[in-house]
Amino acid sequence: MTLKEFNNLCTANKVASSSMPPHTVPPCKYKESSTNELTKAVIAYLQHHGAQAERVSVEGRVIDRRKTYTDVLGVTRTVGSVDRIKASGTKGSADISCTFPIIIAGKRVGLSLKIEIKFRKDKQSTNQKEYQFTVTESGGRYYIVKCFDDIVNIVKSIQDEFIPTLR
């Protein structure tokens, strides 16, 4: 499935589940033009396949203590500082945390997936490689996605592995 086909499918599903006239339902416009856009598309694709998927952020937060004022001479001045508070999450965490539904011995269970989005020439950091090791050592699956086709292939391989074929 291509990204264009997924957008069409997503739009058709929105129209079918909406009580609004079809021409008023906004179309899905997932893209792979940036890390952020690709992440949104990957999460939507996983959720379309029944998975629970969410974006993980471990970048901390910024506290802006600056104040801007104009003095009596009409000069605009800024005083104060910008501080960054460290995140409480694990360094190197993957961009997406997902529980993918699979069937094992007739029971529905969840397979833990961690997905790192790497856009264009991005590379894994040392912390991300260590995180990947801890995920795979504990039985989870870790994937690096560089384009929409990657997640389509990952989902297909998981389905092929866990969905029995009729013979």
pLDDT in tens, the chain (167 residues): 999 999 999 999 999 998 989 889 999 999 999 999 999 999 999 999 999 999 998 777 888 899 999 988 899 999 998 888 877 778 889 999 999 999 888 888 899 999 999 998 899 999 999 999 999 999 999 999 999 999 999 999 999 988 765 44
Q: What CATH number does residue 49 fall under?
A: 3.40.1350.10
Extract the tokens encoding 119: 């856009």
Model-wide pTM > 0.95: no
Residue 109 covered by a domain:
yes
**Structure tokens belonging to residue 90:** 């694990």
Counted residue by residue, the chain has a size of 167
Q: Whole domain around residue 109: which residue ranges?
A: 31-58+90-162
H/E run at residue 38: helix 35-48
> How many structural domains compose the chain?
1
In a domain, 24, yes or no: no
Burial of residue 120, with CB atoms counted within 10 A of its CB: 0-12 exposed, 13-18 middle, 19 or more buried = exposed
103 domain-assigned? yes
How far, in Å, CA of 63 to CA of 83, rounded?
A: 5
121 lies in some domain: yes
Cα gap 97→54, rounded to integer Å: 6
In-domain check, residue 70: no
Q: Identify whether 112 is part of a domain.
A: yes
Examine residue 9 and state whether it is found in any structural domain, yes or no: no
In a domain, 18, yes or no: no
